[in-house]
Structure 1
């Protein structure tokens, strides 16, 4: 019994699963550091599950395939990994206002499954390099590494002010020093002479919503702020 459990083939499968977990952790650490919806554990489990299903698909039915008049598709189980992980990725995408968030994390989950599938097939080196490439891509493009590609984040701000049509001009002047831009704005007038401004702003990475709040507090005309 012990010889069956610890033969060379099963040890090789175990090594593949271990490599898949390591690659999942490599991909997930960057998402975890940025407090995204899917972190290290999620990426490790996706890579591990994809590798396990691939091993089952490729090697799990060898005894059945040897029977006469039996035909089997070795890729059938593995092919459903793509379909299955799509539902997980869809759960990470959500819409806030007119902004779509979670696309990068969902794409990371999808490609993590591909890494696990690759390792499960036995191409461990290819899967490891792919995991490293994903990590490098996430870090470089998030930080605006290339010149002229400064990364900006977007947010929506809602403020209420007394009847004052010059508030936008004043905010633009305050935002200018922090390189914050008002991309779009809408105003709603109320009967009690109060204006509600809804603004879509873009700000360089490193500027936090709390910083925007502090800037707006310099405008005494603003009665309420919502981020």
Structure 2
């Protein structure tokens, strides 16, 4: 084994650590389960497997001339990394979390394989674009599409003389987007129950909404859940 190959391999593995660290740091700053250790390990192991694949394909001991296939291990990495990506996706109430983290896992693995193949410039450009997009697109989504969390609003009014149109308008004025509504009424106690499925901004203060809803009737119960 030539020393220049060993030196180049060490440089590639260190670069994989750097890329995985930056991607993991971005995820951790947003309080996601996928973080530094996970993405560093994925990126480094992918780079090592890429180096192993290339070495075994070109070394006569493992692969006679004309028989080596450097893409075999890489294709196995691409197939296997899907299990980790699937484990990052979780359903919490009406919301699904982890899709971006799963995509970052794929990105980390692909960068590790590319580093192992020696595509330094391509990896550098990809890393820059990914980090810029992860930060920039989040700000764009927060500004243009603030209602991102699916929640259920439960209301209970005493009596049956409530104005559903005004209640809907009041809810929407406070930044909630209504996607569905169900109503039930208890005849004996003269109570009306309203159940709204809404999209809500990540940070919302509901006290003003409650106060305005109280002005529309005898509000006896309010709750909002994921």
Q: Structure 1 residue 157 and structure 2 residue 131: aligned?
A: no
Number of residue pairs aligned between Structure 1 and Structure 2? 216
Residue 197 (structure 2) pairs with residue 200 (structure 1):
yes
Q: Which residue of structure 1 aligns with residue 111 of structure 2?
A: 115
Cα gap change, 1:190 to 1:47, in 2 (>3 Å):
farther
Equivalent in 181, 184, 187 of residue 183 of structure 2: 187
Given the two structures, how large is their TM-score scaled by the length of structure 1? 0.79
Cα distance change of structure 1 residues 167 and 33 upon mapping to structure 2, 3 Å threshold: farther
Q: 1:36 aligns with which of 7, 32, 36?
A: 32
CA RMSD between the two structures: 3.1
State the match for 1:8 in structure 2.
4
Q: 1:169 is matched with which residue: 159, 162, 166? A: 166
* Contact 1:92–1:105 under 8 Å retained in 2: yes
- 1:214 corresponds to 2:207: yes
Deviation at 1:84, TM superposition (A): 0.9
1:111 deviation in Å?
1.6
Counterparts in 2 of 1:64 and 1:214: CA distance versus 1, 3 Å: farther
Asked if structure 2 preserves the Cα contact closer than 8 Å seen for 1:25 and 1:40, the reply is yes
Counterpart in the other structure of 1:223:
221
Q: 1:88 to 1:162 in 2, by over 3 A?
A: same
Deviation at 1:189, TM superposition (A): 3.9
8 Å CA contact 2:20, 2:40 repeated in 1: yes
Question: Gaps (5+ residues) in structure 2?
Answer: none
Cα contact 2:89–2:97 (8 A) shared by 1: yes
The residue aligned with 2:61 is 64
Whether the aligned pair in 1 keeps the contact of 2:155 and 2:195 (CA below 8 Å) is: no
Change in 2 beyond 3 A, CA 1:193/1:106? farther
Does the CA contact (< 8 Å) of 1:156 and 1:198 recur in 2? no
Q: Say whether the 8 Å CA contact 2:147–2:177 is kept in structure 1.
A: no
Unaligned runs of 5+ in 1: none
- Report if aligned partners of 1:159, 1:226 keep a CA contact under 8 Å in 2: yes
Indicate if the aligned counterparts of 2:56 and 2:70 stay in contact, CA closer than 8 A: no
Report SS of the residue matched to 1:91: helix
> 1:119: Cα distance to partner?
0.5
